[in-house]
Structure 1
Amino acid sequence: MKTAIVNIGTIVTGDLKAPFAAGDAILMQEGRISAVGTLSSEQVSGADVVIDAAGTTAIPGLIDSHVHITFGDYTPRQRVVGYLESYVHGGTTTAITASEVHTPGRPKDPAGVKALALAARGCFLEYRPGGMRVHAGSVILEPGLTEADLDELVKAGVWLAKAGFGAFGSPFDYAPLMLAARERGMVTTMHTGGSSIPGSSGIWAEHVLKSNPTVSFHVNGGPVAMPEQGFARLVNESRIALQLCTAGNLRTALLTAKLLDEAGQPERLLIATDTPTGSGIMPLGMLYTISHLASLGHMPPEQAIAAATGNNATTYRLNNGFLKPGKDADVVLIDACAGGSQDDALSALRNGDVPAVAAVVSDGVPRFVGRSRNTPAGIRTVRVANTKLPRDFSGAATH
């Protein structure tokens, strides 16, 4: 399938080093981006679907790197069906599991936690709710797991390991398994902050530094933040990626972003939601955190967008998150909301507004074009200008 987007007002690449791309068009073919910039008339006419962006802003599909999936598009924590598909209408095209810890009655023995990770991974290999790509299956580190167990999981395709909900006597006790997992090429993640569910404990900077995970999960609190002095320690004493979550402490989120900017290391900042949890379902959570950083933190909106796209992709070794040839064809069109005070999406974010989501394309397939059911309409009318397929893609948003 070939999909072309034309008449784009601004192309935000997701790359901190080159945040904008010249031109006004994107061409996608067989699930990958094949061209960004200017398209010939032959390239446009050869597309199966042509989307008229009407001057809106193109960004990479958002990557939520902290989603508490279980099985299927259902969360028992909030008893909601279809929340992942709803997140697509918030511009999120990729979700990364924060471990399947919310699975009711989850096993805690070594054989059980391995089986849970393998089953979750397998369930989402081909299942794409609403067009979302879900990276599932993160082994929850528990006492009794061995390096041989990690070898078995890696051989079977599990590449994520999570510390923070195991029955270890001290958070320091995670370190040997965490280090062993990283040695095997796994992306390791660690709960950071106060207790989030009954039975869990606070994990602070000294514990995170000892385990040296790839990512400090919800460093701003999930939902409770760690002691203040820990933020500077994680920034200055490690190269750990620091993840900010919508369902966390806003003040410490702004503090973390400020400290990383002052250290000249904005690439270490990641944005996620940490949902569904007790904080609920947040289809627009990624956009809210981007707007908070841009308005309250005075971060350039293109930098905040990179924290939600390219930074996540680089940290998790994914092929999406950037609007560049060769990358997975995940593109979102955003705009200022109708009736607001701003004239474009980036200005809206600086103003603290959530932008309108006008179209979402994932894997090169338009999932909806025209209007998200979760945002107000934009000030511009995005439409399918031409399609050779027996559908117009404009009716997916129901209200």
Structure 2
Amino acid sequence: MRTAIVNIGQILTGDMTMPFIDGDTIISADGRIESVGTGEADSVRGCDVVIDANGTIAIPGLIDSHVHVTFGDYTPRQKTVGFLESYVHGGVTTAISASEVHVPGRPKDVTGIKALAVAASKCFQTYRPGGMRVHAGSLILEPGLVDADFAELTAAGVWMVKAGFGAFQTPYDYAPLVKLAREHGMVSMVHTGGSSIPGSSGIWADHLLKIRPDISYHVNGGPIAMPDEDFTRLVNESEMALQVCTAGNLRTTLLVSDLLAAAGRLDRLLIATDTPTGSGIMPLGMLYTISHLTSLGNLPPEIAIAAATGNNAIAYRLNNGIIASGRDADIVLIDSCMGGSKSDALSSLRNGDVPAIGAVITDGVPRFVGRSRNTPETMRRVSVARSNIVQDFSATSH
């Protein structure tokens, strides 16, 4: 399938080193971006679907790198069906499991945690709610795991591990297992802040600096933050990515952003939601945190968007999250909201407003075009200019 998006007002790449790219057209083929810039008439004419962006802004699909998936599009924590598909209407095209810790009756023995990770990983390899990519199967680290277990899991396709909920005497005991995971090429994440569920413990900077994960999960608190002085230590004494979440502490979200900006390391800033949890379900959570960092933290909107897209893609070694030739064609069209006080999406973010979503495309396939059911209407109407596909791309059919 070939898809063209034309008449784009501005293209944000998601790449923090080059956040803007000139052009008004993006063409994708067979799920990958083929070209970005000015589309030749013949190339556009040869597409199966042509979307008229009508001056709206194109950004990469948002990557929520902290979602508590279980099995299917269901959360037992909030007893809700269809939350992932609803997140697509919040511009989220990729969800990354923060481990399947909310599975009822979650096993804690080595055989059980391995089986849980493998099953979750394989279930979501072909299941894509609303067109969303879901990277599931994050191994919950527990005592008793050995090198052979990590070899077995990587051979089965499991590539993430999560520390923070295991039956260890102290958080320092995670360090050897995180080291083993790294040796097997796995991405490692560690719960940061106060205890979030019964049986877990607080994990602060000294623990993290001994464990040395790839990513400090909800460094701003999940939902309770660590002491302020610990943030400076993580920024200055480590290279780990620092993930801030909507379901955390907003004041320390802004603190993390300021510290990383001062250090010239905003490439380490990741945006996620940490949902569904006790904070609930947040289809617009990514957009809210982007708007908070932009309006309250004075982060340029293009940089905040990069923290929610390209930075996550780099940290998790994904091929989406950046608009460039050869990347996965996950694209969202945003605009100012109808009736709002600002004339474009970036100005709206600076004002503290969430933008309206006019279309979501994943794998080069339009998932809806015209209006998200979770945001107000766009000021500029996005439409399907031409289609050879017998399908209604409106939100009402999604």
TM-score, with structure 2 as normaliser: 0.99
Unpaired runs of 5+ residues, structure 1, are none
Q: What is the aligned partner in structure 2 of residue 26 from structure 1? A: 26
8 Å CA contact retained: 1:292, 1:352: yes
- Identity of paired residues, percent? 70
C-alpha distance in 1, partners of 2:3/2:119? Answer: 34
1:371-393: per-residue Cα shift (whole Å, max 9, x none)? 00000001110000000111231
**Corresponding position: 1:72 with 2:84:** no
8 Å CA contact retained: 1:384, 1:392: no
C-alpha distance in 2, partners of 1:151/1:166? Answer: 20
Q: What is the aligned partner in structure 2 of residue 177 from structure 1? A: 177
Q: What is the aligned partner in structure 2 of residue 372 from structure 1? A: 372
Q: What is the aligned partner in structure 2 of residue 14 from structure 1? A: 14
Compute the displacement of 1:395 (Å): 4.2
8 Å CA contact retained: 1:367, 1:396: no
Q: What is the aligned partner in structure 1 of residue 250 from structure 2? A: 250
User: Match for 2:392: what amino acid?
Assistant: D
Compute the displacement of 1:155 (Å): 1.3
8 Å CA contact retained: 1:313, 1:320: yes
User: Match for 1:124: what amino acid?
Assistant: F
Structure 2 residue matching 1:144: 3-state secondary structure? coil
Q: What is the aligned partner in structure 1 of residue 353 from structure 2? A: 353
Q: What is the aligned partner in structure 2 of residue 88 from structure 1? A: 88
User: Match for 1:61: what amino acid?
Assistant: G
Structure 2 residue matching 1:190: 3-state secondary structure? strand
Q: What is the aligned partner in structure 2 of residue 116 from structure 1? A: 116
What RMSD over aligned residues (CA atoms) do the two structures have, in Å?
0.7
8 Å CA contact retained: 2:28, 2:34: yes
Q: What is the aligned partner in structure 2 of residue 269 from structure 1? A: 269
Q: What is the aligned partner in structure 2 of residue 325 from structure 1? A: 325
Q: What is the aligned partner in structure 1 of residue 42 from structure 2? A: 42
Structure 1 residue matching 2:384: 3-state secondary structure? strand
C-alpha distance in 2, partners of 1:228/1:135? Answer: 32
Compute the displacement of 1:132 (Å): 0.2
8 Å CA contact retained: 2:373, 2:395: no
How many residue pairs match? The answer is 398
1:253-277: per-residue Cα shift (whole Å, max 9, x none)? 0000100010011100000000000
Bigger mean CA offset, 337-346 vs 147-156: 147-156
Unpaired runs of 5+ residues, structure 2, are none
Q: What is the aligned partner in structure 2 of residue 223 from structure 1? A: 223
Alpha carbons of structure 1 residues 81 and 152: separation in structure 2 relative to 1, 3 Å: same
Structure 2 residue matching 1:66: 3-state secondary structure? strand
Bigger mean CA offset, 149-158 vs 56-65: 149-158
C-alpha distance in 2, partners of 1:33/1:73? Answer: 28
C-alpha distance in 2, partners of 1:161/1:112? Answer: 15
User: Match for 1:56: what amino acid?
Assistant: T
8 Å CA contact retained: 1:8, 1:54: yes
Compute the displacement of 1:396 (Å): 3.7
TM-score, with structure 1 as normaliser: 0.99
Q: What is the aligned partner in structure 2 of residue 384 from structure 1? A: 384
Compute the displacement of 1:190 (Å): 0.1
**Corresponding position: 1:210 with 2:210:** yes
C-alpha distance in 1, partners of 2:159/2:45? Answer: 41
C-alpha distance in 2, partners of 1:119/1:112? Answer: 10
8 Å CA contact retained: 1:273, 1:282: yes
1:94-135: per-residue Cα shift (whole Å, max 9, x none)? 000000000000000000000000000010000000000000
Structure 1 residue matching 2:116: 3-state secondary structure? helix
Q: What is the aligned partner in structure 2 of residue 195 from structure 1? A: 195
Structure 1 residue matching 2:242: 3-state secondary structure? strand
C-alpha distance in 2, partners of 1:396/1:217? Answer: 35
Q: What is the aligned partner in structure 1 of residue 140 from structure 2? A: 140
User: Match for 2:377: what amino acid?
Assistant: A
Q: What is the aligned partner in structure 2 of residue 315 from structure 1? A: 315
1:287-341: per-residue Cα shift (whole Å, max 9, x none)? 0000000000000000000000000000100000001000000000000001110
C-alpha distance in 1, partners of 2:392/2:112? Answer: 46
